[in-house]
Amino acid sequence: KMGKLNEAIKGYTNFLQITGPNTEIEQHLLGLTFKAKLQESSQPFVTVPEDCVSKALDAFKHREYQQALRLLQECIGTQPGNHEAKTLKIQVLLALNNLDQALTDIASWALAEPQAPVWFDALHLLYRNGTEISKIIRTLQYIEKALPQELLPKLYLADLSLRTQNTHAATSYLMRSLKIAESTDLQATLAFQLCALAYNNHHYKKIKDIYQQYADVAEHHAPFLNLMAYYYCSKENNLELAQQLITKALKLDSKNPHLMDTQALIYYHQKQYGKAYEILEKIAQQETADCTIAKHFAKTCYELGNITLAIKHLEHATDLIEHPDKKKKYKQLISTWKQKI
């Protein structure tokens, strides 16, 4: 995606829905965490032909970290494009608990090679393995400021902002990314995420504005079409437009249970409860941890007169929902339904 979307962002798709492993990072860095112990594997983490890196790796295996660091410094000095040496240096610095130098080096290499995702992935990997997130963010902000036209720093900052619940910062970085994104696939993905954030924050006018601006690229992005179908169904009761959008989405991904749930919701609002039930009965068995599907199934069962089954599924939705106000609302509705048995 994005042509070669692997070059833009990989491996952490909480929100970008970008798939496919980064084999380079997996080979070189996945095992290089703070808690990694070399003796856990008889195989070296990095296998390369270069003599300087081989010697440094041997020193590292024997926990001669300063010696390994000296060899790697020499290697990088004569071969500045040697990613193997740089990757191993990060591992050595982590073994020495010299995180600040590791971050400084990664930032320096990222500035020198802004199109190489390996260093941005390395920063993200450090976060996933326990590095204080504020340090990662500061490093990425430094890179982003120095490289305002580069997409990678903005994408990673958007992701980390989401992970820290900073939706304002996430929105800002997503908007900046969208302004310079050239791929229609990535434009659709970013616009979709902005709409999802706006929906969660009840900024409904913003959702419509973004969608209208990027409607053309949304035509081939099933999650985006699904979100807009859900919005028009649940917030504007524009069932005709909602049906048009979900029909397009299902043509792209006919087996997706979340898209099928939106179709069921449209049937529910059209009072076609039997059709909604047929869909929800199937997907509720597949997606047992989805509170939205459980809630929709419960309400559909209620409309069909099966109050006992409705209560069962709403109780399940209540167990799944984390939002305290919604949990309280579900419990109140269960009490109301029980009085009608």
272-292 mean pLDDT: 97
The percent of residues above 70 in pLDDT, for the chain, comes to: 84
Give the separation between CA 281 and CA 283, rounded to whole angstroms: 6
Quote the pLDDT of residue 130.
79
**Alpha helices (runs of H) in 62-112, residue ranges in sequence order:** 65-78, 83-95, 99-112
- Whether 62 shows a pLDDT value over 50: the answer reads yes
Other CB atoms within a 10 A radius of the CB of residue 192 amount to: 27
Closest CA relative to residue 292, chosen from 331, 329, 321: 321
Mean confidence (pLDDT) of the chain: 85
CB of 11 within 8 A of CB of 21? yes
The pLDDT tens digits for 292-335 are 999 999 999 999 999 999 999 999 999 999 999 999 999 999 99
The predicted structure's pLDDT at residue 51: 80
- Tell me the three-class secondary structure of 258-305, residue by residue: HHHHHHHHHHHHCCCHHHHHHHHHHHHHHCCCCHHHHHHHHHHHHHCC
**pLDDT at residue 13, as a whole number:** 30
Least confident of 9-18, 45-54, 197-206, 298-307: 9-18
Task: Give the pLDDT mean for 155-160.
Answer: 90
Q: Alpha-carbon distance 18 to 140, whole Å?
A: 20
Q: What is the pLDDT of residues 81-95, one digit of tens each?
A: 888 889 899 889 988
pLDDT of 84: 86
- Please report the pLDDT score of residue 80 as a whole number: 87
Q: What pLDDT, on a 0 to 100 scale, did the predictor assign at position 46?
A: 43
Model confidence over 226-238: pLDDT tens digits? 999 999 999 999 9
pLDDT of residue 43: 36
Band the pLDDT of 38: cuts 50, 70, 90: very low
